Amino acid sequence: MAVDVMQRHPNAMGQWQFIRSNSFRWALAVAGVLAVFMIALFGFIYVKIDNYLIERTDRMLSRQIAFMATLPMERQLNAIEDHLRQDSRGVQFAGVFGSDGRRLAGNMERLPAGLKIDAPAQSVTAAKVDPPNHDHSVRAIAKRMPNGNVLVIARNVDETKEISHVVGEALAFGLLPAFIICLLAGAWLSVRAQRQVEEVNQRVQRIIAGDLRERLPYSEGSEPFSKLAVIVNGMFGEMETMINALAGVGNDIAHDLRTPLTRARLTLERGRTHATSLEQLQTVADKAIAGIDQSLTIITALLRLAEIENSRRSAGFGIVPLHEMLREVCDIYEPIAENKNIALTVHAEHELNVRGDRDLLIEAVTNLVDNAIKFTPEGGKVDIELLRNANETVIRIVDTGSGITAEERDAVLRRFYRSDKMRNTPGVGLGLNLVAAIVKLHGFRLTIHPGAGCRVEIACPDPEAQSPRGGPLPVRATCV
């Protein structure tokens, strides 16, 4: 019979899986904590009300006995009778007792046992004359008169039991519905989360199967799952871009490494065949070493890129004075610029700082300055500028070279990209890609402006001006 039910309703068991889900267990735990909290809250309310009533009763008894103790004996007895006559609820107790304990006036049958005289109000039991032999819980205060009599004023505090009953009813009527609502909310959230997880699982399986264009579902709003889905979709987008780029990087690496290695092999092979002297062998070895060095340069640059893209250097960020750093870069490249008859100048009038890795930032700027000098003809000019705009600090390198076209702005940032006009220029095509990786690590923005001459900018937005989606991350590096 059970098998038939499962066959007819294959989703019946799956629909009740939410009971064993973590969401439902958390909801059950929250409901339990809520129940404990409500019990503690109502207990606290009961204790506070009880203490308040007792304190109010004690103050009232202290005022009453202080007033009656000042009256003469005859007026004192009349005041007690008037006090008891006005008690329509029957909660007032009063009495005057002789030094031998005999009752002289009031509605108290006897002097309460254990009642301390000339002391603050206390909790004792007292019995009325009518009906007799029925003890009541009271707060009482006693004072000995100059003539030896004992004046006692008391009040029934059994009403605190009524408060306890009211609090208990409120707890029962409030706790049970709240507990049920928590369980229902937990069940609904669990089922909803289970459906979302199943849909995410299906889409992730399609991504694993090779559909890199698939994305997780999300809705517009501030729902945490949607925010997470947006972040994960961004990660998938980066992964798709990286995988597509990786498909061509392998061929580029093989091509760029094969050329110097082939040259080194041919040089060694020819040297072994044709070299007839030590000098010829040394020349062959030097050419082979140069080819191997070129291959090692490519490998070192690739390892450097991998290190930067893995963000291993972000833990060592500190305050970097950009004005000093740019002057240092200018001092390094000034002799090289003079050899090409290029005017290299730096304009850093403001002392501006940024949070980042000084060595990496110098590496990025030196790559840009090196490219500017390399592609600027003799008699040209290269300017290094440090600017402060409305919401960001900008490092700008401007040269009078041939510039980069609008079509090549994205291409020049790819690994091993070399345009036709760069074929005869030394290099491996990783400089700008390295700059882009350093800029991305710091959360900055790299901009290449097309046109005559080349203008490249590294902008560091202020934290309050950074976009929450897709913009630089203020956690990674911030302007100060």
Q: What is the mean pLDDT of residues 397-405?
A: 81
Evaluate if residue 165 carries a pLDDT over 80. no
Q: Given phi > 0 = left and psi -120 to 50 = alpha, else beta, which region is 156?
A: beta
Comparing 22 with 178, the larger pLDDT belongs to 178
Question: 398 pairs with which residues across the strands?
Answer: 383, 455
Burial class (CB in 10 A: 0-12, 13-18, 19+), 423: exposed
What pLDDT score does 141 carry? Answer: 92
Evaluate if residue 310 carries a pLDDT over 70. no
Average pLDDT in the chain? 76
Q: What is the mean pLDDT of residues 407-416?
A: 60
What's the full length of the chain, in residues?
A: 480
- Return the percentage of the chain with pLDDT > 70, whole number: 76
Is the distance from CB of 106 to CB of 95 less than 8 angstroms?
Answer: yes
- Give the model confidence (pLDDT) of 30-88 as tens digits: 777 877 887 787 778 878 877 888 888 889 899 988 888 888 888 888 888 888 888 88
The answer to whether the predicted template modeling score (pTM) of the entire model surpasses 0.75 is no
- Give the model confidence (pLDDT) of 195-235 as tens digits: 877 888 888 888 888 787 888 887 776 777 788 888 888 88
What pLDDT score does 79 carry? Answer: 87
Comparing 431 with 16, the larger pLDDT belongs to 431
Q: What is the mean pLDDT of residues 264-285?
A: 79
pLDDT band at 278 (very low <50, low <70, confident <90, very high): confident
Q: What is the mean pLDDT of residues 174-192?
A: 77
- Phi, psi values for residue 293, rounded to 5°: -60, -40
CA 187 – CA 25 distance, rounded (Å)? 9
